[in-house]
Amino acid sequence: MQQKLNLVPFVSVDKMMKLVHLIGVETFLIELAEEIEKDFRRWESFDKVARIPAHSQEGVIELMPTTDGEVYGFKYVNGHPKNTRTGRQTVTAFGLLADMATGYPLMLSEMTMLTALRTAAMSALAAKYLAPEHARTMAIIGNGAQSEFQALAFKALLGVNQVRLYDIDRSASLKCARNLVGSGIDCVIAASAQEAVLGADIVTTVTADKLNATILTDNMIGPGIHINAVGGDSPGKTELHADILHRASIFVEYPPQTRIEGEIQQLSADHPVTELWSVIADRAEGRRGRDEITLFDSVGFAVEDFSALRYVRRKLAETGLYEDLDLLADPDEPRDLYGMLMRAKMPRAVA
């Protein structure tokens, strides 16, 4: 895609939603998972650092940067669970890609919608390698903004056709079930987390409260289950009882980040975990047996956002679903920035 030096393609929320509908939600999730999978296969080519957080009593604001040496990407994201009380989203985000050779931005994009899509795609991609074969039933504990995306991603990538829903706020479960009508997914609303887990091959936990919680206890997890732990994603915020962790084979994105933010913050620093990229790149084993309990301790990592932004950028030339943003001062003579400012001065009105 050709772009003028002073104009940066910007994907607004409206354009992102139109792009998703143009491609189709499930196709978007499948293609996005494929993009992440390709980048995980070249994991070692990326600069990696745990995200940079600024914590408050109300939530957290984070920056998530990475580069493959040619393109730089970062995401700004917040997590404020109490926002829903005032009609705001718990999570909002935007992201940017830039050319490493010049430092010039290549694209700016909303990432509130895109983060929900990439989180779901990442969950389903991990389950492709870790879930029991022919898994068709998934429990979703926590039915907020992420739940429908999770259900659709697992349907698209794994063929899951029944979700068992539970939330402490029943209206959230009803909302999720209503939104999934016509999707080919059978929704069952459970009266408790324990009831939701019964008969499930996969259990996804995706609650929002910023605290150490016990959404799943050890007695709820039988042999062969795959746990997709999404909600525990900051220090002091977990969803699983520690006893489950001692029984499970644990897979993570980037250990230095997950040991601070994920479920494994409850374990010793030397507790063994497997990096998911190494499974995807055929460097390590995923699920090894029918009765094995597998756990994807998902906290989200910058490479996934990088993949998502690059996927969206590739779609812009063929769809035109972006706006040109006048973001960069680009004078005709690069050293004459002040002259550019003076030439823009408004003439005084003549009396």
- Give the torsion through C-alpha atoms of 187, 188, 189, 195, to 10 deg: -140
| 284: three-class secondary structure by DSSP | coil
Are 26 and 156 in contact by the 8 Å Cβ rule? The answer is: yes
DSSP H or E stretch at residue 115: helix 112-130
Interaxial angle between packed helices 147-158 and 25-41, expressed in degrees from 0 to 180 and rounded to the nearest 10: 70
Are 280 and 124 in contact by the 8 Å Cβ rule? The answer is: no
Are 233 and 79 in contact by the 8 Å Cβ rule? The answer is: yes
- Give the torsion through C-alpha atoms of 308, 312, 313, 314, to 10 deg: 110
186 among known catalytic residues: no
CA 146 → CA 36, 152, 241, 248, 343, distances in Å? 19, 10, 22, 24, 49
CB atoms within 10 A of CB 327: 15
Two tokens, residue 109? 């994009």
The residue type of 243 is: D
| Sheet (strand 105-110) strand order | 52-55, 60-67, 71-79, 93-99, 105-110, 7-11, 323-326
> Which residues share a beta bridge with 8?
325
Are 43 and 307 in contact by the 8 Å Cβ rule? The answer is: no
Q: Which of 233, 291, 332, 336 is catalytic?
A: 233
Q: How far apart are CA 148 and CA 245, in angstroms?
A: 26
Residue 165: HSE in the Cβ half-sphere, 13 Å Cα cutoff: 26
Query: Which residues are annotated as catalytic?
Result: 233
